[in-house]
Amino acid sequence: MRKVFITIAIMLGCTLTMSAEDAKATIDIKQGSQKIHKEIYGQFAEHLGSCIYGGLWVGENSVIPNINGYRKDVFDALKNLQVPVLRWPGGCFADEYHWMDGIGPKENRPKMQNNNWGGTIEDNSFGTHEFLNLCEMLGCEPYISGNVGSGTVEELAKWVEYMTSDGDTPMAKLRRKNGRDKAWKVKFLGVGNESWGCGGNMRPEYYADLYRRYSVYCRNYDGNKLYKIASGASDYDYTWTKVLMNNIGNRMDGVSLHYYTVTGWSGSKGSATKFNDDDYYWTMGKCLGIEDVIIKHSKLMDAKDPQKKIGLLVDEWGTWWDEEPGTIAGHLYQQNALRDAFVAALSLNVFHRHTDRVRMANIAQIVNVLQSMILTDQKGTGHMVLTPTYHVFDMYKGFQEATYLPMDITCDSIAVRGDQHAKDGRKIPVLNTSAAKQTDGSLIISLSNISLDKDQTISIDLKGFAAKNITGRILTSKNATDYNDFEHPDVIKPMEFKKAKLKKNIITAEIPAKSIVVLNVK
Ligand code: AHR
């Protein structure tokens, strides 16, 4: 085999080191032991911009087709995605949200100002009932983010009682008065959000004490068993995790982690659709940087929890670009290019690898905010666009609850620009892959070719698997900057992939540059 390495100087200093060798991989079917928790495919819906109002919810009287107030086009698209869990009502919003303002007859609900996100006035027409009923309709678990920053222990305790008590209790009676007889099942409860920042600007020791106090009074009613999640660290803040592990320990079921693919928190974050090759490769490196962050937090957790009983929940992740010109400041509305699809695919592959610790992940956010699945407008009877990120979640559905299979792969690497957390740059494999055995016994294999200009040929040896049939889908486009919009909703959409062949138990596939391929092998 030829060993030719070509170094190509990419514009603005990024260096791509390519070899002319084909990639080789092995999947040993006997090696799978960990289940990929379906909750890794979780979503996040915050009262932010037009995520809730206009995105998920338009109200019963809207001219936009709706099912009891939920946008029908959006609902149908989400139903297809098999959303396993939905986090609500924030984010930063959660720590200023007073749930009692969002129950009872809509005309009596007080308005509120959304101080975190553009000062928008909201009418509280989407509250606890509207959220939990939506989860029931979607068939997903609700994940409630409780208010610790500006709320009280009593307020959160009563919210849990209102949602989950089936007895003759004051809050269950109030719920019945508001039209819901049977309690909902609510498993996931976040005790605060970003308590080091918008959730109260606390020190970890102080937050740990608050967690201990709040969590005592969040009770398990009538067979409902809460999975309590402490408000965890941002990115590289390992001290936060260490203090929580020491001071809370197994009083929490899980601890969160937030990691955004973002250039920095001050100044411009860059356009979602106008970027050069160097920006693209930087983005690939930055999103893959989450792996090292997960490993480091996980290692700290291992010291106190070697059996990995406490979950690490990446309950906010995704790209964060500049808001689209002409949109409302503070509403975080951004477009979604093929580059974002890669961030989704690569990040999900990382979560698969760490499924022993990563119990859940919630991409930010579901509609119209940051790296969303769906973009909507409210013109006339409304339009909807499925983003490239949506299509990745759709193509990856088979990974939910599948058994993770380690994949041994040899392929070329790309050296990309780093940042303050990777001063010497990053070196990333040109093919980013993941494999799993689905519940029906078939294999699902994802293969992302990060290169912007070089196709990759890969041969995959399926050890111990009698393969008979192979099918696949591919997501790609002419440029990494391409995206779908209301006028051109299908620029990027999955197509049938025909360049994978099966001979004996070896798959040979040609993966075009800048493409994401998902294979199903039976
Ligand atoms: O997802 C947007 C915001 O990012 C969330 O409200 C907050 O938790 C994070 O800083």
Query: What is the amino acid identity at position 350?
Result: V
pLDDT for residue 464:
84
pLDDT for residue 59:
97
Query: Residue 21: pLDDT band by 50, 70, 90 thresholds?
Result: low
Query: What is the amino acid identity at position 4?
Result: V
Over residues 226-238, the mean pLDDT reads: 98
Q: Which residues pair with 142 in a beta bridge?
A: 86
Strands (DSSP E) contained in 201-319 are 227-234, 254-261, 311-319
Taking the centre of ligand 1 as the mean of its atom positions, its distance from the CA of residue 92, in whole angstroms, is 6
User: Does 13 score more than 60 pLDDT?
Assistant: no
Query: What is the amino acid identity at position 138?
Result: L
Over residues 136-155, the mean pLDDT reads: 98
DSSP character string of 103-156: SS-GGGSPPEEETTTTTEEE---S-HHHHHHHHHHHT-EEEEEE--SSS-HHHH
User: Sheet containing 413-416: which strands, arranged edge to edge?
Assistant: 5-9, 15-19, 413-416, 426-429
* Element of type H or E holding 435: strand 431-437
User: Does 16 score more than 70 pLDDT?
Assistant: no
Over residues 245-266, the mean pLDDT reads: 97
Nearest atom (ligand 1) to Cα of 93: 6
Query: Residue 54: pLDDT band by 50, 70, 90 thresholds?
Result: very high
Q: Do domains 6-33+405-521 and 38-401 have the same CATH topology?
A: no
Structure tokens at 197: 């920042």
DSSP 235: T
Ordered by start, the domain boundaries in the chain are 6-33+405-521, 38-401
Q: Catalytic amino acids?
A: 194, 316
User: Does 17 score more than 80 pLDDT?
Assistant: no
Q: Which residues pair with 310 in a beta bridge?
A: none
Which residues lie with the beta carbon below 6 Å from any ligand 1 atom?
46, 90-92, 193-194, 316, 364-365, 370
Instruction: Using a pLDDT cut of 90, give the percent of the chain over it.
Output: 94
Taking the centre of ligand 1 as the mean of its atom positions, its distance from the CA of residue 317, in whole angstroms, is 9
The per-residue pLDDT for range 465-490, each reduced to its tens digit, is 999 999 999 999 999 999 999 999 99
pLDDT for residue 485:
98
pLDDT for residue 258:
98
pLDDT for residue 20:
44
Over residues 176-189, the mean pLDDT reads: 98
Average pLDDT, the chain: 95
Q: Hey, what CATH topology would domain 38-401 get?
A: TIM Barrel (3.20.20)
Structure tokens at 54: 């206009």
Q: pTM of the entire structure?
A: 0.95
Range 6-33+405-521 has CATH code 2.60.40.1180: yes
pLDDT for residue 70:
98
Taking the centre of ligand 1 as the mean of its atom positions, its distance from the CA of residue 438, in whole angstroms, is 33
Rounded Cα distance between 189 and 222, Å, is 16
User: Does 11 score more than 70 pLDDT?
Assistant: no
The per-residue pLDDT for range 98-114, each reduced to its tens digit, is 999 999 999 999 999 99
User: Does 18 score more than 50 pLDDT?
Assistant: no
User: Does 285 score more than 80 pLDDT?
Assistant: yes
